[in-house]
Amino acid sequence: MACRKHRPDSATAPTATQPACAPPPGGPGQVAREYPPGTHSSRDPATRMQHPLDINPDHLCQRLQQALDGMGERVGPDLALAVERLCQSVANDSPAAVGPRVAVALADVQADLATLVAALLADPALDDAPGEDNAAAFIAPRLGRQEYRGVQRLLGAIERLRGWETRYPEPQDEGQREYWRRLLLAGARDARAVLIDLAYRLEGMRALGEEPDEARRRRFAGMTLAVHAPIAHRLGLGQIKWELEDLAFRHLEPNTYVEIAGLLDERRTSRESYLVQVEQKLNHALLQAGIRAEVYGRPKHIYSIWGKMRRKQLSFEELFDVRALRVQVDSVTDCYAALSVVHELFRPIPSEYDDYIARPKPNGYQSLHTAVEADEGKVVEIQIRTERMHAFAEFGVAAHWRYKGGGGGENPFDMQVESLRRGLSRGEIRPLAAPMVYAFTPNGELVELPAGATVLDFAYRIHTHLGHRCRGAKVNGQIAPLKTEVANGDTVEVLTHKEPAPSREWAHAKSGFLRSASSRAKVRNWFAQFDREDARERGRLICERLYRRFSMDAPARRQLLEALGVNSDDQLFLAVGHHRIAPETLQAAARGQLGAAADRS
């Protein structure tokens, strides 16, 4: 079998002299990388997440129309025409609108109708635009009831996500960042809203250089790098993740970004020439082995390069994946066969081999990774995967739309992410099942709670003493009973007494005040301590009356403790107060000590 056509490693990285915030080469807002977005993604253009930044509204709407035509009988001509008119209306009424671009990008990966319509209507540029042509009312009469409700739910979910993102400050520690990621994944309620939100975030990052306020630019970029890029990674959206990371890094560390981009550009010619030789040699070996394969240069992502340099304490020249190839084959069997060819042709580096086919990453990523010493002793990193693996590596959730008819166990996913992906691939309105909820304090700190937790649980989660003093709460500014369940994204303000005043009723699960076992344990511990202090005080009063009655001095008291088998006054007070030592026993021991003292005298 013939090997497929080689695609050269074409770099688009900016030079070191290019301004840090100027649009990188290849079009406004594109990420500097060594493979133009969309050209390296797949042999089948329909699997690519397109970035139509240079397409005018008419062409965008034509592409959306083509996508609708491909949906078959479920989308009739009247409805398809209505969606196209809505697309045109959005573009005409709001020149700054990016909704059509987002909708077309989602259409390219076969998103369902409700997702496309919601993507159009979710454009922030429509908030101030007048008229019915750009409102949900325009499309409502032409949608079925179920689809219309789906659009409304999606818009509500997107509004919630944006509200949280704009209302609170950027998280400053990794724990808070992880809570933010979980909040956005679980709190969307409709899984498709997460993908729409990521698509809009990507458009915002591409245009971020136009924002004159540096503080706002850095906040937006910081939130993107800390929260949105990891979410894209968690969902397997490699292409979106890489572009978000590179764009954010460019605004947060512009000097480092330009330095690495310059190093890539300086060495591009020699690297490409070397890789062409290696590719030709590998292509010939695969052809001789009868393996149908495509070999091409992998994209170089600046943030990833910087992260690996810092993590492994390597110089730019020492990085393996600066010289990197990808081999794409037809089956899992061919993956391992191609690996054997690679290792026979070049000397493998054992420590750099990873089998992510047998042991996929938690987000479902699968490939064989190896590094070899090729010609001239230079190290080349090679990835081997199938077309389906490549689609999931690049587009994750979105790839499920394309491969929804496929079966098999090629992609064992983390349970939560798999649930979200199944909902996406079927066009279902399915919340991401999550055992936890995430709510804000008034100063914007996120608190993680078990699902079903109450505002009283929230108080105890922040601090035990705050829970003991809790007398009420405000949820999103409104007074709420202590039994009120906390929902994702709620802002909870705890109202307190000056002194601790918990109720014994709180410790009972059936009362409904506390759903968390740990919170109820804190209440029980408080009352156990309270009862302990009360018992100690009762015991102290009884013992002191006894001391006075029998005129017992310090030596006599110590002898009494020995007779009763306790080590201290405190233990004696507690034992008497809890009735472990009866008053009669205490008096008998005291008389015995007096009698012994009389005998000694």
pLDDT digit string (tens) for 311-342? 878 777 776 557 889 999 999 999 999 999 99
What's the average model confidence in pLDDT over 14-36?
33
CB 120 within 8 A of CB 86: yes
Q: Cα-flanking dihedrals φ and ψ of residue 426, to 5°? A: -95, 0
Look at residue 519 in the predicted model and tell me its pLDDT. Answer: 92
Residue 127, pLDDT score = 59
- Confidence (pLDDT) at 40: 30
Please give the pLDDT value at position 89. 62
> Which three-class secondary structure state does DSSP give residue 416?
helix
- Phi/psi region, residue 299 (left: phi>0; alpha: psi -120 to 50; beta: rest), is beta
Average pLDDT over residues 132-158: 68
Span 139-154, average pLDDT: 72
Six token digits for residue 382: 């090679």
Give yes or no for residue 384 having a pLDDT over 90: yes
**Region of poorest pLDDT, from 161-175, 443-457, 568-582:** 161-175
Q: Which of 71-80, 406-415, 495-504 is least confident?
A: 406-415
If you search the block for the tokens 């480092």, which residue do you land on? 256
| 47 vs 253, residue with greater confidence | 253
Nearest to 50 by CA among 79, 24, 27: 27
> Strand 379-386 vs strand 324-329: parallel, antiparallel, or unpaired?
parallel
**Percentage of residues in the chain with pLDDT exceeding 90?**
24
Q: d(Cα 558, Cα 525) in Å, to the nearest integer?
A: 31
- The pLDDT assigned to 485 comes to 93
Mean pLDDT is lowest, of 8-17, 292-301, 487-496, for 8-17
| C-alpha dihedral sign at 239, 240, 243, 244 | negative
Lowest mean pLDDT of 10-24, 237-251, 274-288, 461-475, name the range.
Answer: 10-24
Reply yes or no on whether the pLDDT at 104 is more than 70. Answer: yes
In sequence order, which residues have a C-beta less than 8 Å from that of residue 92 and are 6 or more positions away? Answer: 57
The pLDDT, as a whole number, for residue 417 is: 44
Contact criterion met (CB below 8 Å) for 57 and 100: yes
Residues of the chain with CATH 3.10.20.30: 436-515
Q: What is the mean pLDDT of residues 87-114?
A: 70
Tokens standing for 123?
């454009």
Question: Is the pLDDT confidence value at 364 over 60?
Answer: yes
Q: Does residue 484 surpass a pLDDT of 90?
A: yes
Percent of the chain with pLDDT over 70: 70
Q: How many CA atoms lie less than 13 Å away from 557 in the CB half-sphere?
A: 19
Secondary structure (DSSP) of 342-354: HHHHSEE-GGG-E
Work out the angle at residue 419's Cα, subtended by the Cα atoms of residues 413 and 422, and round it to the nearest 5 degrees.
95
222-247: average pLDDT: 87
CA distance 367 to 370: 10
Task: Look at residue 297 and tell me whether its pLDDT is greater than 90.
Answer: no
The phi and psi torsions of 112 (rounded to 5 degrees) equal -80, 175
Instruction: Tell me what pLDDT residue 458 has.
Output: 95
Give yes or no for residue 391 having a pLDDT over 90. Answer: no
Which burial class, exposed, middle or buried, applies to 564 when counting CB atoms under 10 A from its CB (0-12, 13-18, 19+)? middle
DSSP state of 431: -
- What integer is the mean pLDDT of 216-229? 91
Taking the alpha carbons of 112, 117, 120, 121 in that order, is the dihedral positive or negative?
negative
Instruction: Please check whether residue 252 is in contact with residue 244, taking contact to mean a CB–CB distance below 8 angstroms.
Output: no
28 or 420, greater pLDDT: 420
CA dist 277 to 284, 412, 446, Å? 11, 36, 53
CB atoms within 10 A of CB 102: 24
Fill in the amino acid letter for 586: L
Q: How far apart are CA 400 and CA 387, in angstroms?
A: 13
Q: How far apart are CA 156 and CA 195, in angstroms?
A: 14
The least confident of 106-120, 343-357, 394-408 is 394-408
Q: What are phi and psi of 286, to 5 degrees?
A: -65, -40
Q: What is the rounded end-to-end Cα distance, in angstroms, of the chain? A: 115
Could you tell me the CATH superfamily of domain 436-515?
Beta-grasp domain (3.10.20.30)
Indicate if the pLDDT at residue 573 is higher than 80. Answer: yes
> CA 439, CA 182: separation in Å to the nearest integer?
11
What is the average pLDDT across 502-519?
Answer: 90
Give the C-alpha separation, 79 to 49, whole Å: 24
Q: Which residue has the higher pLDDT, 123 or 57?
A: 123
Quote the pLDDT of residue 337. Answer: 95
Query: How many angstroms from the chain centroid is the CA of residue 78?
Result: 39
How is residue 194 written in tokens?
């997460």
Q: Is the pLDDT of residue 346 over 90?
A: yes
What pLDDT, on the 0 to 100 scale, is given for residue 399?
55
* The two three-digit tokens of residue 106, written as one number: 């989602």
Q: What is the average pLDDT value for the chain, to the nearest integer? A: 76
What ranges make up the beta strands (E) of 323-373? 324-329, 347-348, 354-355, 368-373
Residue 146 has pLDDT above 80, yes or no: no
- CATH code, 268-425: 3.30.460.10
Residue 90: pLDDT band by 50, 70, 90 thresholds?
Answer: low
Q: Residues 547-555: what's their mean pLDDT?
A: 86
pLDDT for 117 equals 81
Rank 157-161, 183-187, 317-321 by mean pLDDT and report only the highest. 157-161
User: Does residue 600 surpass a pLDDT of 90?
Assistant: no
Q: Where in the chain is the domain with CATH 3.30.460.10?
A: 268-425
DSSP 141: G
pLDDT for 57 equals 57
Largest CA distance in the chain: 116
Fold of 45-244: Hypothetical protein af1432 (1.10.3210)
Helix (H) or strand (E) holding 310: helix 302-312
CA distances (Å), origin 508, targets 504, 513, 514: 8, 8, 8
The amino acid present at 281, given as its one-letter code, is: K
Region 104-109: mean pLDDT is 73
Intervals of CATH 1.10.3210.10 along the chain: 45-244
One DSSP character per residue, 244-268 reads HHHHHHHHHSHHHHHHHHHHHHHTH
Residues pairing with 368 in the sheet: 355, 384
- More confident: 140 or 389: 389
Decide the pairing of beta strands 368-373 and 347-348: antiparallel
Residue 24: φ, ψ to 5°: -70, 165
